Structure 1
């Protein structure tokens, strides 16, 4: 089904849950994310080295592989999960919670990063998934070196994403800013990569080249 994501946007902040406690769990800030996710990544790397017995070379190699694999996951999740929506009410609600609210309120700064509680819950599910896959392959111990890289890739992506919404683009990275801006305000069914454009080029979802010459602003 073709993604149905609005190109209309509003100023202010979305209201996702009526319950104040649940609503608070949908918000975060950069310092909170750096501390919580940073400690999680360091703990996993330490565990991989001290308890699992992976060598520094193995950890570095698996870490880099995990970061690269995240770029693929970033594209696939954005395109096929965050932009998945049907006529069903539950589907529309799921979409709004996961991504739709961001398209309606792209300057909602407290929701430009994944909050720690839902973030760690999803990370746990993903880790178990990767662990099972590695276990089937007979190399379950390598998941402890791979996942910190995958998680770090997500963390780097999330801060790039936040920067595209709250900062003026550095000259060297202007194309990344513009790429994400085009996704929000002109082509919601294209430009799914946020931290890079590699997979958009691979899968043919780059915006028309003529659009690059037109000024796009994050409002």
Structure 2
């Protein structure tokens, strides 16, 4: 399969989410009271969105673009921050108008955890790398050619639920 440059982006577009996502959380906290249990439900919802997008979009509809990331894990490949920020702006307005700002906070915090963990997983020299060995092992298996498993980056929860989790000891060589 030929690699695609469709998702290749500038370093600014790649890193911008690390700055904009916390701003969305602050904006949501300003707009409405924070309810921790509802934020946890938003976080749980995010993990399902992450798993589903990775499994059903990135490994089917956008397979060629996503495979480019598998080939060059340090390249600036992904969904541009301009797209995610635009989406989050619309979702924040919807959440605010429907009283779901705490769920929004949980979901975008989950996204922030996801992009942070994914960044660290591909950089063994990063100080936080040593703190996530299980997630790194899961993700390393996911990147092996022929293994269509371990779609959850920030959590293996949905891989366990849907039977797509594989442990390193079950993989030959």
With the length of structure 2 as denominator, give the TM-score of the two structures: 0.79
**Which segments of 5 or more consecutive residues in structure 1 lack a partner in the other structure?**
1-5, 50-55, 86-93, 215-219
**Which segments of 5 or more consecutive residues in structure 2 lack a partner in the other structure?**
none
2:45 equivalent among 66, 69, 91 = 69
Q: Which 4+ residue blocks in structure 1 deviate beyond 6 angstroms? A: none
Cα offset for 1:95?
Answer: 4.0
RMSD between aligned residues: 3.2
Q: Distance in 2 between matches of 1:204 and 1:126?
A: 31
**Measured at CA, do residues 182 and 189 of structure 1 come closer, stay the same or move farther in structure 2, by a change above 3 Å?**
same
Cα offset for 1:182?
Answer: 0.6
5 Å matches for 1:1-219? Answer: 15-16=5-6, 23-24=9-10, 27-29=13-15, 32-49=16-33, 56=34, 59-85=35-61, 94-97=62-65, 99-108=66-75, 110-111=76-77, 114-124=79-89, 131=95, 140-141=98-99, 143-167=100-124, 169-170=129-130, 172-207=131-166, 210-211=169-170
Higher CA-based Rg: 1
**Measured at CA, do residues 67 and 146 of structure 1 come closer, stay the same or move farther in structure 2, by a change above 3 Å?**
same
State whether residues 66 and 149 of structure 1, in contact with CA within 8 Å, keep that contact through their aligned partners in structure 2: yes
Q: Kindly tell me the number of residue pairs found equivalent between the two proteins.
A: 170
